[in-house]
Amino acid sequence: MTINFLQEIEKRGFISDQTDKENLSKLFAEKAPVKSYIGFDCTAESLHVGSLVQIMILRWLQKSGNKPIVLMGGGTTKVGDPSGKDESRKMLDDEGIKHNMKSIKKIFTQFVEFEDEFDANSNKAFMVNNDDWLGDINYIEFLRDYGKHFSVNRMLTMESVKLRLERESHLSFLEFNYMILQAYDFVELNKNYDCRVQIGGSDQWGNIVNGIELNRRVGGEENFGITTPLLTTASGAKMGKSEKGAVWLNIDMLSAYDYWQFWRNTEDADVIKFLKLFTELDLPEIGKLAVLEGADINKAKIILANEATKLCHGEKAAIEAEKTAQKVFEQGGTGDELPVFEIEKSRLEEGIAAFTALVESGLADSNGAARRLIKGGGAKVNDIKIKSDSQLVSSSDLNPEGAIKLSAGKKRHALLKAG
């Protein structure tokens, strides 16, 4: 059962690199449940779909009888991971980190089942906070015990450091310490929870190897690392972003309908890849969808949207999102789950410029973008094309339900209501 974990995630495209593949396979074959961890810093109130690859791996770990450990970076968030960054992150205070952590925790419970007390023999997920051990570190003792194992010469060759140095971007000494702290996390987890595997994005390869080596140097068990590919769409866009901004996983930051629409609007070339990564459909079933072409590929996109939304927000939310989409696109209705933006009643009675309405409803990023959308014929009010950017949107446009439907192209819609 445990060997199936590696087989499954490899077939689905989750693996970029792994250390000592032969012995890693033996570990999963002989020592169930294998404890494996993935770390998540608390830099925002929500994770976005760019983190979904790692979250799905947590789910596959649990489904295959292994034990996922979710490490919340309450301590490392105070430092800031320089990996893949051109500049330093904005520093958060303790209250901001605690707020973000509480908000992020909600996401994981949608994907994996947790236990409150650590049970080494169960496959239930366990959550830890690295501030519990990093917060009380004695700096001098830490440097004497662990800092001596790190070569500055080698640290300077790490991609996260090289990127900043090559671009002559500021890299603080605080951030430079991040890789040491992450390596020490692995030591703590190995010592206290028998955690043998660290998993992260491919930009974390150097940090993961550091953790494996530090464990070896301080007498820990043989440990292993797995990295996942950093995903981009077929057109080269970074996963986690849409035309409207970040695709957040917390429902209070992005509606289930907008989340469903993100997956429904997947590029044709990405559908099968995303079905393998972000759903639990059997691979043979996905193989049958791979032969769809032309307009039929939309069937696969709807399946992707339904399955991905069901995992993140529940089956009911997925069903409602699809119904809303059908109502909006096929019947020309407004839909109950479209994003709603309120505007002052007095302003709506006077009327506001159409381009302003598009910006305030989130359908355009700027006045210029809104004007270009109108000029190109892609903007509508209640399914009627906006003729010019001087056209007004007013209370006379309210439908019987008390809303105005705005559209940007065929796939993006919002409702304006008087507040």
pLDDT digits (tens, 9 = 90+) for 205-244: 888 998 899 988 887 778 999 999 988 877 777 776 655 5
Residue found by looking up tokens 């993100």 in the block: 262
Asked if 261 and 411 touch (Cβ cutoff 8 Å), the reply is yes
Cα distance between residue 274 and residue 277, in whole Å: 5
Where is pLDDT greater, at 283 or 148?
A: 283
Is it the case that residue 13 has pLDDT exceeding 50?
yes
Cα distance between residue 364 and residue 243, in whole Å: 9
Q: Please tell me the least confidently modeled range out of 38-47, 67-76, 139-148, 186-195.
A: 139-148
Is it the case that residue 190 has pLDDT exceeding 90?
yes
- How many beta carbons lie within 10 A of that of residue 399, not counting itself? 12
Q: How far is CA 151 from the centre of its chain?
A: 33
Q: Under 8 Å CB-to-CB from 377, ≥6 apart: which residues?
A: 385
289-325 pLDDT per residue, tens:
988 877 788 899 999 999 999 999 999 999 999 988 8
Question: Mean pLDDT highest for which of 163-167, 195-199, 337-341, 378-382?
Answer: 195-199
Is it the case that residue 91 has pLDDT exceeding 60?
yes
Give me the percent of the chain exceeding a pLDDT of 70. Answer: 86
Question: Mean pLDDT highest for which of 168-182, 318-332, 352-366, 401-415?
Answer: 352-366
Mean pLDDT of the chain: 85
SS3 sequence, 363-374? CCCCHHHHHHHH
Query: What's the pLDDT score for residue 56?
Result: 97
- Residue 2's pLDDT band, with cuts at 50, 70 and 90, is very low
As to burial, measured by CB atoms within 10 angstroms (0-12 exposed, 13-18 middle, 19+ buried), residue 350 is: exposed
Asked if 310 and 109 touch (Cβ cutoff 8 Å), the reply is no
Cα distance between residue 325 and residue 309, in whole Å: 13
Cα distance between residue 10 and residue 67, in whole Å: 18
Pairing between β-strand 404-408 and β-strand 379-381 as defined by DSSP bridges? antiparallel
Measured between alpha carbons, how far is residue 338 from residues 6, 31, 48, 211 in Å? 40, 48, 20, 46
Q: Between 21-30 and 3-11, two packed helices, what is the crossing angle to 10 degrees?
A: 130
> What is the per-residue DSSP string for 155-195?
HTTSHHHHHHHHTT----HHHHTHHHHHHHHHHHHHHHH-E
Query: What's the pLDDT score for residue 1?
Result: 44
Q: Under 8 Å CB-to-CB from 150, ≥6 apart: which residues?
A: 179, 180, 183, 210, 214
Cα distance between residue 359 and residue 236, in whole Å: 26
